[in-house]
Amino acid sequence: MLSDRELFNENFYLAANQDVAAAVSKGEFASGFDHFSQFGEFERRNPSAFFDSAYYLQQNLDVATEVNAGKTTAFEHFIVFGQSERRNPNLLFDTGFYLRNNSDVAVAVGADLLTGIEHFVKFGADELRNPSRFFDTNFYLNRNPDVARATQKDEITGVEHYIEFGQFEGRIPRQLFSQMFVFGDSLSDDGNLFALTGGAVPPSPPYFNGRFSNGLVWVEDLAPTLALPVNPSTNFAVGGATSGTLNTGSSLLPGLQQQIDNFVVANRASADPNGLYVVWAGAK
């Protein structure tokens, strides 16, 4: 079983609790763990990125009742009982998922050699195993080379980085969508179309249709954020939605309903359940 010290991370605790860090620096406590053992766990402070006291109590009302009665703490319950009962310590670690996707770990847990979270903390995180369907370790490290370098130096694990920093920095934990479908009357402006066509359309600045801008439009900003590729050859409109790369200079682009109808026909009335579908009118 994972011990209290093994689930405690000194650096995490001091960084998350500046008051404790100041007290430790003054010699009022021997360490962050010293404070946590005396006060922190009773104040429902988190000992590491791997345990979220608030989440644990929200998901386990029986434990919350015991804690509110002063009989135990969330952390103590998890160490003594919860981990062996396969309760989840935080939102990103799913014991059931972990055991289903790691048969070797499931065998060891079944033989009572260790617990799921114990394996992940001691081995799994460093072995780049995924803690749940909500976090893809390889995706996160491939997308964030700075984090990958830190993990190679044993400074932090991918999931720890996401919990402590990544989620607040706008980094995504996994591939959220397989692809993006956008239906609308304008996905780009003249400047982008000019770049796409190598200066052929519009023929030269100042651009004669719509906005006179070279900036990215919302699709081109959103797609990279979601780790999705952008294909600028589809449905680009010269300002005013009067033309596109395939019908430059012709009549108005198809309306929203026609675009959707064409998509349904092309895809035989089926849709990618993992796709992101956006309907945007007047996207100038």
Q: Where would I find the H helices in the chain?
A: 10-16, 18-25, 32-35, 53-59, 61-68, 74-77, 95-100, 103-110, 116-119, 137-143, 145-152, 158-164, 190-196, 218-225, 256-266
Residues 48-70 pLDDT 10s? 999 999 999 999 999 999 999 99
Asked if residue 179 lies in contact with residue 263, where contact means CB atoms within 8 angstroms, the answer is no
**From residue 156, how far is each of 98, 121, 132, 194 by CA, in Å?**
20, 12, 18, 45
Number of neighbouring beta carbons within 10 Å of residue 135? 20
| pLDDT at residue 234 in the model | 44
User: In the chain, which stretches have pLDDT less than 50?
Assistant: 186-188, 190, 205-214, 233-252, 283-284
Residue of 238, 220, 217, 237 lying closest to 229 (CA atoms): 220
